[in-house]
């Protein structure tokens, strides 16, 4: 994947939007099969960990087909204002079919259509690695958080330990591509695989969040570190 000065080239956002649009109808199945349904628990944990008493306004960035948004709404309870935002219309149509009562907004995570200091909680699940600039996306999400608000980032990471290096990585590099190619276009899965491999590990991401102005940053490895949950406060 090409980059300029550590950022993805300017052509990438349109390519990524088109790619996700082309696999929208198979996206949920792709997630379930490739994660052995572990993604369901990862998202629910993210929603529960992000919320504190008194939170009322929530934004799920890069919401895709809305699974994390729905978990966030369920954890927040009645009376909460929950918004799911994504830049792929095909994904949003599927999300709206799941729950029409939630506000689904088409927009770019690099330029969020909300005022400063708006939300108590922001979440982003498997979406930060698709942004043209990781740091730029983090700073933009921090902008719309109220002081004291929290950002929860659920993202693929780099597993640690002998078992994960000898078992997981061969599975990720050799078996998952075959599954992905069966369920989606080869080019789409190739992008998804490359975006995982180039993404920072959980300690690097925690340091990046701190550099972007978040405090009390903590990170939790999930499934032996194949995925990590990061939470930071504005």
Pair 155, 5: CB distance under 8 Å = no
Residue 122 above 70 pLDDT?
yes
Residue 182 above 80 pLDDT?
no
**What are the two backbone dihedrals, phi and then psi, of residue 61, each rounded to the nearest 5 degrees?**
-90, 145
E strands in 129-214:
145-156
Distance CA 160, CA 10 (A): 33
Q: pLDDT tens, 67-90?
A: 999 999 999 998 999 999 999 999
Q: pLDDT tens, 3-59?
A: 433 444 444 788 889 888 988 988 898 888 878 899 999 999 999 999 999 999 999
Q: Are strands 145-156 and 227-233 parallel, antiparallel or unpaired?
A: antiparallel
In this predicted structure, what is the pLDDT of residue 9? 41
Structure tokens at 72: 């966030």
Q: pLDDT tens, 112-121?
A: 999 999 999 9
Distance CA 128, CA 109 (A): 9
**Torsion of the alpha carbons at 6, 9, 13 and 15, rounded to the nearest 10:** -130
Distance CA 128, CA 115 (A): 21
Q: Which domains does the chain have, with CATH numbers?
A: 13-233 (3.40.50.150)
């Amino acid at each position: 994947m090409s980059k300029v000065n550590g950022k993805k080239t300017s052509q990438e956002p349109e390519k990524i939007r088109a790619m996700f649009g082309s696999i929208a109808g198979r996206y949920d199945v792709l997630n379930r099969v490739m994660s052995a349904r572990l993604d369901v628990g990862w998202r629910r944990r993210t929603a529960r960990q992000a919320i504190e008493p008194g939170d009322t306004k929530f934004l799920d960035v890069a919401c895709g087909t809305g699974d994390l948004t729905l978990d966030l709404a369920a954890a927040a309870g009645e009376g909460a204002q929950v918004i799911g935002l994504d830049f792929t219309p095909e994904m949003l149509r599927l999300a709206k079919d799941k729950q029409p009562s939630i506000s689904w907004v088409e927009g770019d995570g690099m330029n969020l259509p909300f005022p400063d200091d708006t939300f108590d909680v922001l979440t982003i699940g498997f979406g930060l690695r698709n942004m043209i600039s990781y740091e730029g996306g983090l700073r933009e999400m921090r902008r719309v958080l109220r002081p004291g608000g929290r950002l929860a980032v659920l993202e693929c990471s780099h597993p640690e330990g002998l078992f994960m290096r000898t078992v997981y990585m061969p599975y990720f590099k050799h078996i998952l591509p075959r599954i992905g190619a069966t369920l989606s276009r080869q080019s789409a899965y190739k992008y998804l695989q490359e975006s995982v491999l180039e993404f920072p590990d959980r300690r690097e991401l925690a340091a990046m969040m701190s550099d972007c102005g978040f405090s009390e940053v903590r990170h939790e490895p999930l499934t032996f570190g194949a995925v990590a949950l990061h939470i930071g406060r504005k």
